């Protein structure tokens, strides 16, 4: 993006210098030729802007695709770890999570959006204070899953979210 802005700045400066040079009467160009050159420079500047914008958009799209794959793998790993924890401990046994999710914390901070990071810390705090098998823990986990879903680009359906939260409590 910085390269595109710098390129546009240089092209704008060159166009301005060319315009100033063409306005001088000692070049021997008539008014029609000067007008054509000015229009050609403006078209070149607009074309350069459109190309820079297209390159920027293509780069953003590629970055989002790479991030999607990494985030999806991370969220899948989180869900797998969660299911393993739930299978290891029976439903009536109180469990406090402190170490189980710490290995995923660094990856969540590096790869996830701020909304997922906030939901992850809230979930971790709730699990640490209330335990694994509590309504508050299930609600916090559902909020985290919903934030992950939105981070992956799935549309946020308010009614579906309320239905999921209602079913887990």
Q: What is the DSSP string of 17-83?
A: HHHHHHH-GGG---HHHHHHHHHHHHHHHHHHHHHHHHHHHHHHHHHHHHHHHHHHHHHHHHHHHHH
DSSP 103: H
State the pLDDT at residue 83: 79
State the pLDDT at residue 154: 75
Domain membership of residue 134 (yes or no) is yes
Domain extent, residue 113, equals: 89-168
Q: Based on the domain organization, do 52 and 15 belong to the same domain?
A: yes
State the pLDDT at residue 164: 59
State the pLDDT at residue 118: 92
- CA-based end-to-end distance of the chain: 47
State the pLDDT at residue 90: 63
Domain membership of residue 76 (yes or no) is no
Give per-residue pLDDT as tens, 31-45.
788 778 778 877 887
Is residue 62 over pLDDT 80? Answer: yes
Q: How many domains does the chain have?
A: 2
Could you tell me the pTM of the whole model?
0.55
Give per-residue pLDDT as tens, 94-153.
555 555 567 778 778 877 888 988 998 888 888 777 777 778 878 888 888 888 888 887
Domain membership of residue 117 (yes or no) is yes
Structure tokens at 17: 């210098």
């Amino acid at each position: 993006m910085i390269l595109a802005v710098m390129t546009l700045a240089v092209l704008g400066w060159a166009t301005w210098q060319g315009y100033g040079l063409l306005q001088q009467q000692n070049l021997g160009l008539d008014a029609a030729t000067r007008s054509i050159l000015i229009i050609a420079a403006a078209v070149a500047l607009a074309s350069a802007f459109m190309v820079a914008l297209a390159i920027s958009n293509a780069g953003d799209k590629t970055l989002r695709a790479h991030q999607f794959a990494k985030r999806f793998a991370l969220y899948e790993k989180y869900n797998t770890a969660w299911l393993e924890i739930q299978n290891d401990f029976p439903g009536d046994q109180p469990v406090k999570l402190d170490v189980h999710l710490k290995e995923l914390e660094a990856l969540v901070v590096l790869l996830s959006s701020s909304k997922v990071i906030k939901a992850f810390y809230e979930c971790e705090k709730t699990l640490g204070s209330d335990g694994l098998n509590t309504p508050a823990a299930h609600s916090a986990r559902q909020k985290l899953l919903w934030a992950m879903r939105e981070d992956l680009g799935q549309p946020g359906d308010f009614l579906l979210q309320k239905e999921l939260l209602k079913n887990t409590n």
